């Protein structure tokens, strides 16, 4: 019960999994909120004999009732939430603007932006009560540059940056910090799966550092923003992208 | 586990304020530190403090705006430590005047120290970082570089210039695995803002900062240690704002 608690949405795989492992190494009890129970179980199994126990909760984070239930159960079991990392989301479908259906648009905005809003809302009361806490939301290089055939995704990620700044201002008087991590091209299984080896090498080669990020490198940035090292940082966006975008 | 064990760091302007805090923090994390500071006595005082804390340091009286002085400093670093892994461009000055009344000499002095000094020091360490295929350059910019200053266009220009320089150098050195970034402090509890603000003004500015306090040198030092550490090896060309939310970007 004394361990710090981190809730990682989308924590079952990819950057989320790396983030769960990083916080666990640092002594946090990680709670994974994700739709994918199988991957969630696998992530928990990777915690191995880490000193603190992890937990998986299956939830559709676009539904307020499910979000509320999940956070209520975390609070009643653990009594605290120190860090919220909103990583749930993704691109899901690319397409030219005339091909993007309103349903696809809504799905993309819901999965990225609305989940971020609902989960942030759910931790405000306990963090205010504790007089401390940190929230890390996830943007993307596309939230800065935009991207062809990613209008919905880019819109959701730019929105997350503005949401984070607004929330940072709102919560600063309560000692709660809110920051944004912005990964660029990152070699998660899901992203890697979209390209063959040659395409991937060519794409990675376009980054100034000549390669894509490893999920662990994004997790390192998230841990910096969430922990005491960044005690005086709020409303900021940290880009971990090998120089892909320099806003 | 110390995060900069075995590294060598040059910190300019490290006789006081943010530079001193960065030098002390990097030494605490295991780096051998070159205290590159204009005034020899101040440099030596910080060197002593680091050594008294069990760290390793070399004091070097350095004028970052003078090429021979910078080259001598980097040479002294190489002679003592055999390499340079981290450069922190922190030395800077902030005299105040309007553009209408600005002396050309003062313009030259501010740009010469803040921007040209950052260039000279970066240029001097680059061959060594290229040779070892790795390194970090961290330059201290300012919120004035983002938003301008009504009492120091030279200072704002120099700090804005540092951001452009950093992004360019980041692109140039990325293939060699050298990361180049800025830290952007806000109003800090150091001697510098006291040159143009009263104590009351200084602390009153906290009311306009979302986190409700002005920055401490230690806040910037923690960010610098992060950017210098293995945990930030894929962060380059970025400006990390450490300002309590005063400017969000």
Give the neighbor-by-neighbor strand order of the sheet with A55-58. Answer: A55-58, A29-34, A5-9, A83-86, A133-138, A176-183, A237-240
Q: Which residues on A lie below 8 Å from B232 (Cβ)?
A: 220-221, 224, 240
* Mean model confidence pLDDT for chain A: 95
Residue of chain A whose Cα is closest to the Cα of B221: A229
Domains of chain B: 8-241 (3.40.50.720)
Reply yes or no on whether the pLDDT at B167 is more than 60: yes
Q: Domain boundaries in chain A?
A: 5-240
The ipTM of this complex is: 0.91
Cross-chain residue pair A246–B244, CB shorter than 8 Å: no
Q: Do B216 and A243 touch (CB under 8 A)?
A: no
DSSP string, A2-33: -S-EEEEETTTSHHHHHHHHHHHHTT-EEEEE
**B242:A230 CB<8 A:** yes
Contacts of B237 in chain A (CB under 8 A): 208, 243, 246
Which of the four pLDDT bands, split at 50, 70 and 90, describes residue B193? confident
Q: What's the confidence (pLDDT) of residue A91?
A: 85
Query: Which single residue is written with the structure tokens 């740009």?
Result: B111
pLDDT digits (tens, 9 = 90+) for B134-155: 999 999 999 999 999 999 999 9
pLDDT for the residue numbered B86: 98
A238 touches B at CB < 8 Å? yes
pLDDT bucket at A130, cuts 50 / 70 / 90: very high
The domain defined by A5-240 folds into Rossmann fold (3.40.50)
Nearest to B231 among A168, A213, A224 (CB): A224
The model's confidence at residue A30, banded by pLDDT at 50, 70 and 90, is: very high
The answer to whether the CB atoms of B210 and A169 lie below 8 A apart is yes
pLDDT of residue A50: 60
Report the Cα–Cα distance between both ends of chain B, in Å, rounded: 32
Q: Is B203 a catalytic residue?
A: no
A40 touches chain B (CB under 8 A): no
């Amino acid at each position: 019960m004394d361990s710090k608690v981190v809730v990682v949405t989308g924590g079952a795989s990819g950057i989320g999994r790396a983030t769960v492992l990083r916080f666990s190494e640092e002594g946090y009890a990680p709670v994974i909120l994700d739709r994918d129970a199988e991957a969630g179980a696998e992530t928990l199994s990777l915690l191995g004999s880490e000193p603190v126990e992890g937990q998986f909760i299956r939830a559709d984070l676009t539904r307020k009732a499910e979000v509320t239930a999940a956070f209520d159960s975390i609070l009643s079991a653990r009594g605290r939430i120190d860090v919220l990392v909103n990583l749930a989301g993704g691109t899901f479908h690319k397409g030219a603007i005339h091909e993007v259906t309103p349903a696809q648009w809504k799905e993309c905005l819901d999965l990225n932006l609305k989940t971020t809003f609902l989960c942030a809302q759910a931790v405000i009361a306990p963090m205010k009560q504790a007089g401390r806490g940190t929230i890390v939301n996830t943007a993307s290089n596309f939230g800065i540059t935009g991207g062809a055939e990613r209008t919905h995704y880019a819109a959701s990620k730019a929105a997350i940056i503005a949401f984070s700044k607004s929330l940072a201002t709102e919560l600063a008087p309560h000692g709660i910090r809110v920051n944004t991590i912005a990964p660029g091209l990152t070699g998660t299984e899901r992203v890697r799966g979209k390209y063959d080896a040659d395409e991937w090498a060519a794409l990675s080669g376009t980054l100034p550092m000549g390669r894509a990020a490893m999920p662990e490198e994004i997790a390192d940035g998230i841990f910096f923003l969430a922990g005491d090292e960044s005690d005086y940082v709020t409303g900021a966006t940290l880009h971990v992208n090998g120089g892909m975008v320099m806003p | 586990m110390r995060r900069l064990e075995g590294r060598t760091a040059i910190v300019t302007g490290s006789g006081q304020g943010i530079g001193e805090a960065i030098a002390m923090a990097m030494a605490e994390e295991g780096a051998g530190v070159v205290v590159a500071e204009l005034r020899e006595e101040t440099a030596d005082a910080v060197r002593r403090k680091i050594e008294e804390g069990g760290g390793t340091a070399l004091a070097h009286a350095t004028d970052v705006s003078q090429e021979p002085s910078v080259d001598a400093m980097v040479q002294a670093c190489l002679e003592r430590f055999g390499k340079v892994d981290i450069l922190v461009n922190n030395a800077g000055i902030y005299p105040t005047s309007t553009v209408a009344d600005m002396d050309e000499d003062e313009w030259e002095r501010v740009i010469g120290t803040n921007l040209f000094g950052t260039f000279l020091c970066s240029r001097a360490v680059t061959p060594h970082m290229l040779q070892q295929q790795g390194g970090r350059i961290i330059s201290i910019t300012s919120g004035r570089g983002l938003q301008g200053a009504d009492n120091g266009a030279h200072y704002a220009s120099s700090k804005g210039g540092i951001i452009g320089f950093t992004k360019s150098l980041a692109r140039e050195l990325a293939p060699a695995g050298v990361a180049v970034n800025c830290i952007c402090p806000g109003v800090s509890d150091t001697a510098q803002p006291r040159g143009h603000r009263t104590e009351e003004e200084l602390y009153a500015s906290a009311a306009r900062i979302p986190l409700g306090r002005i920055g401490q040198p230690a806040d910037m030092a923690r960010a610098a240690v992060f950017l210098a550490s293995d945990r930030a090896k894929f962060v380059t060309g970025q400006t990390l704002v450490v300002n309590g939310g005063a400017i969000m970007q």
